[in-house]
Amino acid sequence: MRLTSQPNAWHARLHGSLREGVYFAEVLLGSPRPQRASLIVDTASWVTELTCTGCSACGKHLHPHFNLSGSATGYWLRCGSKCPGKCQKDQCSFEEKYLEGSSLQGRWFRDSLRFVSANGSTEALTASVGCALKESGLFHAQQQNGILGLAPGSATKPTMIWQAFKKARGAKSRNRVFSLSLGGEGGELVIGADTAHVGQWVPLQISGSSGKYGVKVEALMFNGHSIPCRGRAQLDSASTFTYLPKEAETQLRRALADFCKGQQCVPADPPAATGDEATRHCWNVQGGTANISTKRFPVLSWRLQGLEVPWPPSRYLVRYSGKRVRLCYTFRATNALPDGSQIVLGASWMVGQELLFDIDKSRLGLTKTANGSEPSLRHRDSPQRRRVVPRDAPSSRAVEQPAPITTTRTDLTTAPSASPAAEAETSSSGVSLPLPDPVLGFELETQIVEGVAGLLLLGAFVLRARRKLWRLLFNCLRGARI
């Protein structure tokens, strides 16, 4: 059953899919002419930020950088008690550093914000937002303008959740509740969702106002047998993959390979123990069969403190089409995280469910949704969407970053291997959304820069040679005149 919303709830239509490796909302900022921005929904981050004009090192994103001077309702936050960051050069500033190498720097501002929903835009919410003036790593490479932090929040860590439910003078306080529904294509975020129709609940662990949401995993069940996968699991919507302890990941891969030997799950070569990413994590289909299905693979089950949550093969396997069809696992191995989590339940686990985060009652509701059709990917893997919290935070992640799938040269673009032209999708705003691969974008950008540098060196060499030739010719002419 679908969740209903309370009055004054904020609905946000989500774009993206597992094939894009990310889900994001669109917001309208400022007035009288609102400016559109795209923000990745991130349950493991506290900051909400987007790129602004004047950014000295920002990438190209879906929408133009936000221009605060173009808004009549926006203003910079001043240093003082209301500054959620640090005061630097008389500016309320922030700086976020991430374990995988990405970083953000900028200033805090305040303005009206509306979420773009399926029926238009929502009621305006006045919110403090980070204005990124410098970004690096995945933030520079991603197509979205920023991130939407959905951590619980506090007065010193004003997440979007905390600001939406902040008690106004004379107003009745409301429970902090939001729902997140990720489908095979798109989804929905509801800040202010109703809890009346949720039938299944599990305890929700929250590690601080700017910390992480987590649940306790008791077991990962495979065909009636338990995989040694237990402990605290972090809920991270910005992570495409689901991460398991190394031993559990190894045993699960082995169990799936053994199961499919007898059941003939798919006419494909199973993943190998060594090799590149595609070899180690994908079933490589024999021939050019187009109608490959995951239905013969077993349904896994997560046991969350007595509640069984199914994990169908259409979630832990995803299809990629190109010169050769592949079925690739959407789970990887990781070490234990600094906040004590042994597991990361990413978007590949969340798809097909509506998750209701009841923060004040510390519980998580789960409802199966219909918008979880099996995703079919026609492009190479691009799920390196991980938002790792700052190094100086006690709950920061230190997750191993798997290398991207290595494919042929044609797969360096976001187009099918049969054509060099990029295939695109279109958002509700009419913006063309090419299917991204941030890691490959870096590789391609590096190759372009190296190529340009080589051409410049060659040009300098030719110029010097021409100068020497003209000088020699000039000397010869002088000798002839003498």
Segment 111-162, tens digit of pLDDT: 999 999 988 878 889 999 999 999 998 898 899 999 999 999 888 888 999 9
The total of structural domains in the chain comes to 2
Question: What pLDDT does 110 receive?
Answer: 96
In a domain, 479, yes or no: no
pLDDT-derived band of residue 389, with 50, 70 and 90 as boundaries?
very low
With respect to residue 432, please indicate whether it lies within any of the assigned structural domains. Answer: no
Report pLDDT for 287: 67
Q: Do residues 245 and 394 share a domain?
A: yes
CATH of the domain at 399: 2.40.70.10
- pLDDT grade for 229, boundaries at 50, 70 and 90: very high
Of the three residues 405, 426, 448, the one that is the final residue of a domain is 405
Residues 283 and 319 in one domain: yes
pLDDT cut 70: percent of the chain above it: 73
The domain in which residue 390 lies consists of 199-405
pTM metric for this prediction: 0.76
Q: Write a three-state SS string for the chain.
A: CCCCEEEEEEEEEEEEECCCCEEEEEEEECCCCCEEEEEEEECCCCCCEEEECCCCECCCCCCCCECHHHCCCCEECCCCCCCCCEEECCEEEEEEECCCCCEEEEEEEEEEEEEEECCEECCCEEEEEEEEEEEECHHHHCCCCEEEECCCCCCCCCCHHHHHCCCCCCCCCCCCEEEEEECCEEEEEEEEECCCCCCEEEECEECCCCCCEEEEECEEEECCEEECCCEEEEECCCCCCEEEEHHHHHHHHHHHHHHHHHHCCCCEECCCCCCCHHHHHEEEECCCCCCCCCCCCCCEEEEECCEEEEECHHHHEEEECCCCCEEEECEEEECCCCCCCCEEECHHHHCCEEEEEECCCCEEEEEECCCCCCCEECCCCCCCCCCCCCCCCCCCCCCCCCCCCCCCHHHHCCCCCCCCCCCEEECCCCCEEECCCHHHHHHHHHHHHHHHHHHHHHHHHHHHHHHHHHHHHHHHHHHHHC
Q: Are residues 383 and 364 in the same domain?
A: yes
Q: pLDDT value at position 369?
A: 79
Residue 206 and residue 246 in one domain: yes
Q: What is the pLDDT of residue 112?
A: 95
Q: Is residue 443 part of a domain?
A: no
Q: Are residues 107 and 235 in the same domain?
A: no
**Residue 471 within any structural domain of the chain:** no
Residues 333 and 383 in one domain: yes
Please, which pLDDT band fits residue 440 given cuts at 50, 70 and 90?
A: very low
Of 192, 209, 232, the last residue of a domain is: 192
